[in-house]
Amino acid sequence: MSLGPGLVGSEPKPADLLLHRKRSRIADQLKFPSEGVPKNWKGKDWQAYKFAMQMVFREAELMEIVDGTITKVTLSDAESEEKFDKKQTKIMRLIGMSVPSEILHQIRDKMTGTEMWEALCDLFENKVNKTVKAHTIRRLRDELWTVKFSPGGNMNLHLSKMFNIRTELQTLQYAVDDIDMVEMMLESLLAQAEFESLK
């Protein structure tokens, strides 16, 4: 196993493993360049990605086109239609540049930015396919029960991750009761002395 300089071929120390995990988590977090479009999104934490993209659309005055409030049919002249088409292309570019290639392959056949956004929402909110929805609910529920707090980790980030998963489940019309959430949070604390009094 190679974790960095001086660790090739040697047994890694716990502190080195912890540092490696922290670096991996930092590398996996969403990045927001100056234009605000999320980069480095790997298909996880749909709610955070969706919120970030909605803010980008609002700032660029594209949200009414993205959500279908304004359509080409409602426009009155050719100049407005041309601007509308350019905005649709911009929406497609913003979405296409922010998703990983395996997700882009599933939505790139759409003809407008509005259709592309709708397909992306359907893909992650599973409104259409009941089998995919059931599988996603099961995966998220299992993830919520098995997530563990890392020793020396950031408790706020840990709890945020758990509540983000709960929010994703709520989006899929699956309720996690408060009492179950409390139990999952306590179970996620592992056997660490500072948390034993909470259990």
Rounded to whole angstroms, the Cα distance separating 146 from 51 reads 26
Q: What is the pLDDT of residues 133-176, one digit of tens each?
A: 888 889 999 999 999 998 888 999 999 999 999 988 988 889 99
Q: What is the DSSP letter of 39?
A: B
pTM here is 0.58
**Residue reference for tokens 């605000």:** 36
Domain residue limits, the chain: 46-125, 130-198
What percentage of the chain's residues is helix, strand, coil (to nearest 5)?
65, 0, 35
Decide: 83 and 60 in contact? Cβ < 8 Å: no
Q: Say which DSSP state 40 is in.
A: S
Token pair belonging to 107: 């939505």
| Contact by Cβ (8 Å): 64, 70 | yes
pLDDT, one tens digit per residue, over 9-50 is 445 555 444 444 444 443 355 555 556 677 777 777 788 889
Task: Please indicate whether residue 193 or residue 123 has the higher confidence score (pLDDT).
Answer: 123
- Measured at the alpha carbon of residue 79, what is the angle toward residues 76 and 82, in degrees to the nearest 5? 105
- What one-character DSSP code corresponds to residue 118? H
Q: What is the pLDDT of residue 182?
A: 93
b/e for 149-183, b at 16 or more Cβ within 10 A? beeeeeeeebeebbebbbebbebbebebeeeeeee
d(CA 20, CA 148): 17
Compute how many other C-beta atoms are within 10 angstroms of the C-beta atom of residue 51.
12
HSE value, Cβ hemisphere, 13 Å, CA-based, for 125: 14
